[in-house]
Structure 1
């Protein structure tokens, strides 16, 4: 076959390959790539870009690695478009380390490369690293675009970095991207999630156009800040402007109604939900149950609950807590038994509700059975569950059990102390109450010291903060050292940061937070080599960050996904659809 014919053929194959990828038929694209190779043709850079994009669409990490090997053999790895696709593929497949290695190897990087890496970090829950990349990008003279700013703002929102968000906002205005609807929506989101609703509102009202996501973000922001009435007013304004609400909007509106006990507004929203066809959505259904329960209308809550095609743990929790709130402890226990029969795994909120139900009807034996289930499911170290156990045993007259649970708790808050002291008072245990009070003073001294260390650290008085920690009696208090380390990052004190990190890396060598804090200090000081050394040390010790998890609903069934995990039986079909 003549060279010209081969070239013509590969162009034709590439055109077909691109169409498959564009139409979301990644599996067919992969099959076509195999066929190209069987025909004896050599893939070019365009071929490799499309195939890597197909791997990214499928989440096919191993296939992507195999194609990467072929790319290296063909000498195409240095091509910027191929490099960008590889960085993107590894990030989307959950292998952020491979993505980072490819990023560092690239001889030249354009704005797409940087955007891909920033968004990849955000997706993997590494918001702080995404912000560091943004700083590095600017130092190298690469101009950000709208996609960059969306990624940076999402990073700020994920780590509640309000000041970084404000700095990015200034750059957005200077570069003229403030009129972009996606950038505007991301600005509203970061301000709302950081609790600065005044800033969110200023961005919102100046946007030239707003879509449903922007309105929903504002509504959810007001709910989060305890401004339920404002959220409902915004919902009404949204409807006046003929913006059609989606399921997330209705969840926000129902949460607003629940927060201010607005039963009639909730019923009106329910009617609209039925009209819009969202009543079969599991998240909307759960919010309806929750709203009616919190508004004290358990009959309405039960009706919605009975009509739902499936129930998740959140729905069950709403029903159980609602019955407890309405003084129907026995009904709450019956629901819990039904929940167990249906195979729904309880969480900490479930157990808190059930223990409160036991306490309200003095059901000691049922409480002990629940306690055993808590131990088996691993929730016994949760402070909220522990508080409820102490309270249940105390109200059911078993102070010995209450004291045993209290002593085993890894930490205590004000509610813990109130529960145990209230139990002592209820049962006339004066001497025990006095001993507990002395322990309270000791614990509150530690809390007060932590707050003083935090204040001194933020003010830049790092040596004074360090001396205060060293003066504390007893065992080293890790939270205080960690607060000082965070202050070292703020003020760029690398020397002290190293010394402080050593204190608690010996105390808690398996806590990923400490490695991240030290890594961030090096990164902020521009010392990438030491930053990477910390990451290497973390991996060598087998210390991993918490895995990212997400959920989607398909045909009223909730599916859970873990970052980098390909175990779902319909993974190929799901990625193709996405």
Structure 2
């Protein structure tokens, strides 16, 4: 049972002798639990804990629960594990309240794997036990596992409570699972919990994140008692789904808007509306914070107005507004888009000066910026010195290497990523890897292996940009007929981008027969000149000037006009 989980730990405390290590010291403070027939005269103190807990008699289940919660609050791993050991040896192995507190401790402080093992060993977990493990998976980002456990709870003899539903709704919102969220909503109504303001707020948030602003508005309007969070959540749902007028209506109806309210409006308007209007709201705010300014900078970057973002950034610095990780990562993204290397290096200095250089978010943005500015060696060196990396960091480097023609290094780092603990490639990683395969004209078998691994090993379904890279590589190897068949096999027959890739591959190897098929398909799917121009160029390259002229005549007959070419230089 539970003893199997921490048998090794328990062996250290056979005689109830616990040694609690103070977080501020390496010295050991012995605390002995002396066995007696019926009573214990025990004094217990957690050295270094802000709220010291003592007892003079044998601690009961309630006291143990309080001490375990104290370990959670202060994140004391050693103390919590020792309390778990004491609970096992003192006969609390079957106490559902102590076990539930321990599940919460392991989920929040140690590891979810240990929490789940402990949960599985509970003979009769209550709904609070289920909530602890479900919320643990939600907070760790393992949302599908959280929803799987929630469904198990619904199939058990226990009834989920409001906390159970809020955790499930949070997972649905982050995964954009609208149908499942609606199903949970119906269950909430069945249990009579729809009037709970906390549950209703989570429903509004779920509908907003699932792009169902009408659902969010309906729940908000049906809610009898609304708090500040209710108003902020519905405003966010409208603003993030481009319903800016409706968001503005709620904003002016709200009794007492707070900083979050203003920030949601600024963020929505700067992303999807007129940034000048967002700046007006910023100036009218009673207490703007860094998030308020960050929303404007992010809006400029999203709208490809990087120089204006830089200008706004200098204003922010001149007014001594506190700059955080999001500030620097946003402005670095804008700098990367315009390849402003001098600005990028200056901001890198600012980041070092503020002590934010170890931030994963900023580190990833710096790797991306140096890569897009053509400084691949600097990006690679920065990547190597980063203490912590996530998949965004790896993708920034791999993408930079791919875009700068370092195809062999892309494959090298991809193989390292596969061995990285706690990380796995995503669809963006494979886009760059397959593009690198195409650039260096790698053997087709190797590229096929990556494509199959993407689906079989990582559960990532191929997308048009994955297939486009494979098609270009197949063109280099003269296998365009097989590429055409693959388009239909993978279900991309109505996707213009893959036919465009096939037509481009035909142009590279001069395959006129497949080019005619691809051009005809592209003409039906897109009303532009791309298919005509490539087909005409293939005919000219093969010396078929009559057919090339016929393509241009067909363009004139169908009213298709070729856009004028331009240079980026």
TM more than 0.5: yes
Q: Paired residues, what number?
A: 397
Question: Is 1:438 equivalent to 2:560 in the alignment?
Answer: no
For residue 242 of structure 2, give the secondary structure of its aligned residue in structure 1. Answer: helix
Q: Is the Cα–Cα contact under 8 Å of residues 434 and 450 in structure 2 kept in the other structure?
A: no
| Structure 2 counterparts to residues 260-409 of structure 1, below 5 A | 260-273=373-386, 276-278=387-389, 281-309=390-418, 310-325=424-439, 328-329=440-441, 331=442, 333-344=444-455, 345-359=461-475, 361=476, 363-364=477-478, 366-409=479-522
Question: 1:247: how far off?
Answer: 3.4
Question: Is 1:184 equivalent to 2:302 in the alignment?
Answer: no
Aligned-residue RMSD, C-alpha: 3.9
- Of residues 237-246 and 139-148 in structure 1, the stretch that sits farther from structure 2 once superposed is 139-148
- Closer, same or farther in 2 for the Cα pair 1:192/1:399, shift >3 Å? same
Question: 1:183: how far off?
Answer: 1.8
Equivalent position of 2:247 in the other structure: 134
Question: 1:31: how far off?
Answer: 7.1
Question: Is 1:166 equivalent to 2:276 in the alignment?
Answer: yes
Question: 1:208: how far off?
Answer: 1.8
Q: Is the Cα–Cα contact under 8 Å of residues 131 and 164 in structure 2 kept in the other structure?
A: no
Equivalent position of 1:525 in the other structure: none
Q: Is the Cα–Cα contact under 8 Å of residues 263 and 295 in structure 2 kept in the other structure?
A: yes
- Closer, same or farther in 2 for the Cα pair 1:263/1:138, shift >3 Å? closer
CA distance in 1, matches of 2:168, 2:495: 40
Equivalent position of 2:155 in the other structure: none
CA distance in 1, matches of 2:340, 2:450: 33
Q: Is the Cα–Cα contact under 8 Å of residues 212 and 244 in structure 1 kept in the other structure?
A: no
CA distance in 1, matches of 2:360, 2:385: 11
Q: Is the Cα–Cα contact under 8 Å of residues 238 and 247 in structure 2 kept in the other structure?
A: no
CA distance in 2, matches of 1:377, 1:232: 44
Q: Which runs of 5+ in 1 are unaligned?
A: 1-15, 33-46, 449-578
Question: 1:425: how far off?
Answer: 0.5
Deviations 1:227-283 (A, max 9, x none): 45533442332123211343343333233233232122123212223xx132xx333
Q: Is the Cα–Cα contact under 8 Å of residues 88 and 120 in structure 1 kept in the other structure?
A: yes
Question: 1:445: how far off?
Answer: 5.6
Equivalent position of 1:471 in the other structure: none
Q: Is the Cα–Cα contact under 8 Å of residues 364 and 396 in structure 2 kept in the other structure?
A: yes
Question: 1:194: how far off?
Answer: 1.7
Q: Is the Cα–Cα contact under 8 Å of residues 506 and 515 in structure 2 kept in the other structure?
A: yes
For residue 357 of structure 2, give the secondary structure of its aligned residue in structure 1. Answer: coil
Equivalent position of 1:230 in the other structure: 343
- Closer, same or farther in 2 for the Cα pair 1:232/1:132, shift >3 Å? same
| Structure 2 counterparts to residues 78-157 of structure 1, below 5 A | 84=201, 87-88=204-205, 91=208, 96-106=213-223, 109=226, 111-121=228-238, 127-129=241-243, 131-140=244-253, 142-156=255-269
Match of residue 194, structure 1, among 303, 306, 331? 303
Equivalent position of 2:543 in the other structure: 428
CA distance in 2, matches of 1:405, 1:392: 10
Question: 1:86: how far off?
Answer: 5.4
CA distance in 1, matches of 2:211, 2:560: 44
- TM-score with structure 1 length normalisation? 0.59
Q: Is the Cα–Cα contact under 8 Å of residues 55 and 89 in structure 1 kept in the other structure?
A: no
- Closer, same or farther in 2 for the Cα pair 1:250/1:420, shift >3 Å? farther
- Closer, same or farther in 2 for the Cα pair 1:289/1:105, shift >3 Å? closer
Equivalent position of 1:217 in the other structure: 330
Q: Which runs of 5+ in 2 are unaligned?
A: 1-96, 109-125, 133-159, 173-179, 419-423, 456-460, 564-569
Deviations 1:440-460 (A, max 9, x none): 346666799xxxxxxxxxxxx
Question: 1:94: how far off?
Answer: 7.7
- Closer, same or farther in 2 for the Cα pair 1:256/1:31, shift >3 Å? closer
Question: 1:96: how far off?
Answer: 4.9
For residue 308 of structure 1, give the secondary structure of its aligned residue in structure 2. Answer: helix
Equivalent position of 2:35 in the other structure: none
For residue 195 of structure 1, give the secondary structure of its aligned residue in structure 2. Answer: coil
For residue 378 of structure 1, give the secondary structure of its aligned residue in structure 2. Answer: coil
- TM-score with structure 2 length normalisation? 0.60
- Closer, same or farther in 2 for the Cα pair 1:404/1:117, shift >3 Å? same
- Closer, same or farther in 2 for the Cα pair 1:299/1:196, shift >3 Å? closer
Match of residue 28, structure 1, among 125, 128, 147? 128
Deviations 1:156-209 (A, max 9, x none): 35xx4351x32122122112233x122222222122212233443324424521
Q: Is the Cα–Cα contact under 8 Å of residues 286 and 314 in structure 1 kept in the other structure?
A: yes
Deviations 1:71-108 (A, max 9, x none): 48xxx94x877765654466568865443222223457
Question: 1:29: how far off?
Answer: 7.9
CA distance in 2, matches of 1:320, 1:83: 45
Q: Is the Cα–Cα contact under 8 Å of residues 484 and 502 in structure 2 kept in the other structure?
A: yes
Greater RCO between the two (CA within 8 Å, min separation 6)?
A: 1
